[in-house]
Amino acid sequence: MDITVVGGGLAGVEAAYQLASRGHSVSLFEMRPTRYSPAHKTPLLSELVCSNSLKSKELTNAHGLLKEELRILGSIVINTADQAAIPGGKALVVDREIFAKRITREIEANPLITVIRREIQDIPAGTVIIASGPLTSNALAKRLAEITGVNNLFFFDAISPIIDGGTVDMDKAFFGSRYDENSDDYLNCPMTGEEYDAFYNALIGAEKVDLQPFEKTSFFEGCLPVEIMAQRGRQTLAYGPMKPVGLKDKTTGKEPYAVLQLRRENMAGTMYNMVGFQTKLTYAEQDRVFRMIPALRNAVFLRYGSIHRNTYINSPALLNNSLCLKGQDQTFFAGQITGVEGYVESVAMGLVAGISAHVSIMNQVFSPPPEDTCVGALLNYITTPNDNFQPMNINFGLIKNYRKRGKEKFIHNALQAISLWNEEIDEISKK
C-alpha cells in the first residue's frame, strides 16, 4: 500500500522514513522549488528556517532527554543532526546546509520513498499524513479549515540575522562559553552600560515590519522578537539573551555589562547567528540598530531577521491519541501543525504519526508511548481536551510523574519506558 506524506520538513521526512523502514511505499510531496514559503530559501528537505540549534544535549534537560528517546526510536533526523553537529556548547547545533543535504540525499536514495515536487491543495485519498508544517500554503490551510469545520489557529515567529564572521571586529569581541574561557563555541560581543543604553533606546524606537490589520499580533513566548522583549523593561535583555553572567572579557578581565553572543552557522565558522535576536525590524533598521553593538560596526548581514506566520490546528478537538483525525481513520497529522513548538518536538510527532499509520495499516491497535516519556507527554498534550490550547515546547512540567527530586531515576525510567514501547512496535511489525 502506497502512503502519502504531505510536507518535506522535519516531521514529514521522519514520518516517511519510519514508514519506509517498516516496508511501506511512500509518496512524499514537497511544494518547493515549485513554490516557496515566506521563510524557506532552498529546495532541500528538512531545511532549518529559524535557528540552527536543536537545543540542549544534556539528559537532565527535557530537550536533551527528548532527543535521546528519539535516538532509541531510530530517528533519521536526530541521527543526521548528530552527524552534522558543530560546536555549540551544551546545545546540539548543526551546520544547516550539511544537515539538509544529507537528509535530502538519504531520503531521495531510499527505494521505498518517492519524492514528488508539487503543491498539495487538498487531502489526498487513502492513508495520508499531513505534515505541511507551520508554513502550510494558503490553499491547503483553507481546505483543512473546511474539512475540520474550524479556523486554523496561528502565531507569529521571528528569525535571527546571520552575519559574515569575517566582518566582526575581533578587537571588540572574544571567544568563550559561559564559565568556560577556553571554549570557542560562541563569539561574544561585549557592551558597556553606556553602549547598552544607547542600543536599547534605538531598539525601542526602531521601525518594525507592519502586520496586516486583520492579523492578531501573537508571538510564541519561546521565540519573541528582541524588540518585543525589550519593551518589557530596560534590563530585560541584559538579564535575558544579553546576560553577561559567566563571561569574562579577555581584554578587560571583567564581566561586561551586556553581551551579544554569536553562534556558528556552519562547519567552517564563516557565518554566525545572532543568538536570541530574532526580530521584525525592517532591514534598514537592523543595519542601523545592530551596528550599534561595537563589534558589529562593520558587520555584513548575510541574512536579515524576518517574521512569518505559523499555522496550527486545534489538535485536542480534532485528533485522537494516534494523531488520526477524528472520524477519518486514514488521515493523520504530524509536526508543528499539530501545535507542538520546536524542531525536535516536530520530529517526535512526525515519528509517532509514521508509526501510528504503520500500526493502522497492519490492522492493529495503536498504543501511544507512555506519558512518563517526553514523546508520550507531547502526544498527550496535543490530544487532551484543552480550552486554551497553545503551542508548547517539551518541558518536564508536561511529563507524568515527574519530580525534581530523583531526576536521575526519572530519566532512567523514561528511557527504559521508551525502549519497551519501541519493542512493542517491533512486535507488531512482525505480525
Residue with cell string 567552517? 268
Note whether 350 and 131 are within 8 A (CB).
yes
What are the tens digits of pLDDT across the range 142-164?
888 888 776 666 666 677 898 99
56 SS3 class: strand
Q: To the nearest whole number, what is the mean pLDDT of the chain?
A: 90
- In our burial notation (b when 16+ CB lie closer than 10 A, e otherwise), range 49-71 reads bbbbbbbbbebebbbbbbbbbbe
- Rounded CA-CA distance 378/415 in Å is 15
Query: Do you know the residue count of the chain?
Result: 431
Note whether 293 and 172 are within 8 A (CB).
no
Cell of 241: 539573551
Q: What confidence category does residue 223 fall into, taking pLDDT thresholds of 50, 70 and 90? A: low
Strands 91-94, 53-56: pairing is: antiparallel
Residue 324 bridge partners (DSSP): 332
Cα 74 to Cα 12, 16, 166, 190, 294: the distances in Å are: 15, 13, 38, 42, 45
Cell of 14: 521522519
248 SS3 class: coil
Residue 178 has pLDDT above 50, yes or no: yes
Cell of 90: 551544551
- Rounded CA-CA distance 376/369 in Å is 5
Q: What confidence category does residue 278 fall into, taking pLDDT thresholds of 50, 70 and 90? A: confident
Residue 362 has pLDDT above 50, yes or no: yes
What are the tens digits of pLDDT across the range 67-97?
999 999 999 999 999 999 999 989 999 999 9
Average pLDDT of the segment spanning 382-409: 84
Give percent above pLDDT 90 in the chain.
65
**What was the pLDDT predicted at 213?**
41
What are the tens digits of pLDDT across the range 323-343?
999 988 999 999 999 989 889
329 SS3 class: strand
Average pLDDT of the segment spanning 290-316: 88
User: Nearest Cα to 323, choosing from 140, 124, 130, 144?
Assistant: 130
What are the tens digits of pLDDT across the range 114-153?
999 999 999 999 999 999 987 888 888 888 888 877 666 6
276 SS3 class: coil
Note whether 4 and 128 are within 8 A (CB).
yes
**What was the pLDDT predicted at 351?**
98
Q: Which residues contact 249 (CB under 8 A, 6 or more apart)?
A: 174, 188, 190, 255, 256
User: Nearest Cα to 336, choosing from 7, 34, 99, 76?
Assistant: 7
Residue 293 has pLDDT above 50, yes or no: yes
Q: What confidence category does residue 428 fall into, taking pLDDT thresholds of 50, 70 and 90? A: confident
Peptide linkage before 33 cis (omega within 30 of 0)? yes
Q: Which residues contact 168 (CB under 8 A, 6 or more apart)?
A: 187, 189, 262, 272, 295, 296, 299
DSSP summary character for residue 300: -
Residue with cell string 535583555? 237
**What was the pLDDT predicted at 341?**
86
**What was the pLDDT predicted at 39?**
77
| Alpha-helical runs (H) found in 114-156 | 138-148
User: Which domains does the chain show, CATH number per domain?
Assistant: 2-152+313-430 (3.50.50.60), 159-308 (2.40.30)
Where is mean pLDDT largest: 8-12, 216-220, 229-233, 405-409? 8-12
Residue 215 has pLDDT above 60, yes or no: no
Give percent above pLDDT 70 in the chain.
94
Average pLDDT of the segment spanning 399-405: 81
User: Nearest Cα to 295, choosing from 158, 188, 136?
Assistant: 188
Residue 49 has pLDDT above 90, yes or no: no
Residue 7 has pLDDT above 80, yes or no: yes
